[in-house]
Structure 1
Amino acid sequence: MNKLLGWLAIAVIIGLTYMWQPEFFHHAYGIIEKGDIAALAEYLRSFGPSAVLITIILFVVMTFTIVFPFMILSGAAGIVFGLWWGILISWMGEVIGAAVMFVISRYFFRHAVEGWITKSPYLKQVDDYSAANGFKALLIARLLPLAPSGIITAVAAISRITARDFILATVIGKLPPVVVKVLLGHDIVFAGENMTRLIVIVLLVIAIYAGLWWSKRRKVKRE
């Protein structure tokens, strides 16, 4: 029953949001699907003062779609609002989107997977770990610049991490990746003016993932 109510709640939210501005979502979806950061920035700018609210709503919707990278919208926000305001608005949008998804997933879908968890020793171990170390695990996951935010949120919601630890790890952990995504998206569009910074950011992202790969490799060798 809870699972059914969960899907119903998601359908109602998406339906009402779509009914509010159907043409907007068709147009925005087409631009995001193409990955055109500059075109999305121009479209957001056309909303004037309402652009802030529109951008945050798009972040929430994109949290549930999972498939689209936040960098497209983050970069557009950096262009429209300037880097510092773009970072703040993008950070707020991602945190609000994660919180909404967490609440819906936790209170409507947690019961649906509890049977799987109790029957699987591995899932039970992961669930127990999340209860004791949820903040640390989620914080590390959030700090990865290109990690799929929606999937991380969904996994956290069906684990035993507390709501307090989830919000705290999300608020803290999302800020550094948001900075990277806003700068990266912005500088891709204005590469001619910001080539040095763009190269530094790309190298930083590569270094982070190379470090994770090296750490995992060393751990496997020790085992």
Structure 2
Amino acid sequence: MNKLWGWLVIIAAIGLTYLWQPEFFQEAYGIIKHGDIAALADYLRSFGGWSVVITLALFVVMTFTIVFPFMILSGAAGIIYGLFWGIVISWSGEVIGALVMFIFARHFFRQVVEGWITKSKYLKQVDDYSAANGFKALLIARLLPLAPSGIITAVAAISRMSFRDFILATIIGKLPPVVIKVLLGHDIVFAGENMTRLIVVAVLVVGVYLALWWYRRSKVQHGNA
């Protein structure tokens, strides 16, 4: 019954928020959907002193939508506030969004999946691993620049990972990818002025994924040896 009331409160809050400012959600959705970083920066800038609050709120919303890449919003933050404060605001927004989603998913879905876990030997092993090595596993996942943050957070929430491991791995692990996303998003808009840095950052991202691929390939080969 408590969970039912919780769902009703959440649904009501979302509905009332949308009814309060439907134009904002429609406008922001349209811009983000088209991936127009410069247009999003102009739109957020139009809110003046409230732009930081609006930007942080959008990070939370985008964490739950999962489908939109954070780089669009991070790049807009870098344009509006400059690279340093754009990184700070983007990092704060992603951490807050992950924290909200973790609490939500653990409260409403952990008990649901526990029944599945107890019936599956494989899921039980994964659950036990997350409890013992949650910090390391999540930190590695967070360090990937283009990894789906919302999905990673949801998986962590329904596992037995401790809240302490989750928050520490999220705070530490999100900073490097946020720096990359802010730089990429910012420099894509101003490619003519920052082409060298854009190429360096893009190569760095590709290098991270190639290194991960090589590491996994090596582990598979050693495992089969």
Normalised TM-score (structure 2): 0.95
* Mapped pair 1:116 → 2:121: no
Q: Which amino acid aligns with 1:62?
A: M
* Mapped pair 1:151 → 2:139: no
Q: Tell me which residue corresponds to 2:131.
A: 131
Q: Tell me which residue corresponds to 2:215.
A: 215
CA distance in 2: counterparts of 1:218 and 1:7, whole angstroms: 46
Q: Tell me which residue corresponds to 2:106.
A: 106
Instruction: Give 1:177 shift.
Output: 0.5
Q: Which amino acid aligns with 1:140?
A: I
Q: Tell me which residue corresponds to 1:85.
A: 85
Q: 1:42 to 1:128 in 2, by over 3 A?
A: same
CA distance in 2: counterparts of 1:9 and 1:155, whole angstroms: 24
Root-mean-square deviation (CA), in Å?
1.3
SS of the residue corresponding to residue 61 of structure 1 reads helix
Q: 1:131 to 1:9 in 2, by over 3 A?
A: farther
Q: 1:41 to 1:198 in 2, by over 3 A?
A: same
CA distance in 1: counterparts of 2:197 and 2:188, whole angstroms: 10
Deviation sequence 1:33-54 (CA, Å, 0-9, x none): 0000000000001001100000
Q: Tell me which residue corresponds to 1:46.
A: 46
Unaligned runs of 5+ in 1: none
Moved more, 2-11 or 71-80: 2-11
Q: Tell me which residue corresponds to 1:206.
A: 206
Instruction: Give 1:22 shift.
Output: 1.2
CA distance in 1: counterparts of 2:94 and 2:16, whole angstroms: 20
Normalised TM-score (structure 1): 0.96
Any conservation in 2 of the 1:2–1:109 contact (CA below 8 Å)? no
Q: 1:6 to 1:123 in 2, by over 3 A?
A: farther
Q: Which amino acid aligns with 2:169?
A: A
Instruction: Give 1:4 shift.
Output: 4.5
Any conservation in 2 of the 1:2–1:108 contact (CA below 8 Å)? no
CA distance in 2: counterparts of 1:125 and 1:41, whole angstroms: 45
CA distance in 1: counterparts of 2:189 and 2:113, whole angstroms: 43
Any conservation in 2 of the 1:33–1:68 contact (CA below 8 Å)? yes
CA distance in 2: counterparts of 1:7 and 1:24, whole angstroms: 24
Q: Percentage identity across aligned positions? A: 78
CA distance in 2: counterparts of 1:104 and 1:9, whole angstroms: 12
Q: 1:217 to 1:18 in 2, by over 3 A?
A: same
Alignment length (residue pairs): 223
Instruction: Give 1:21 shift.
Output: 1.6
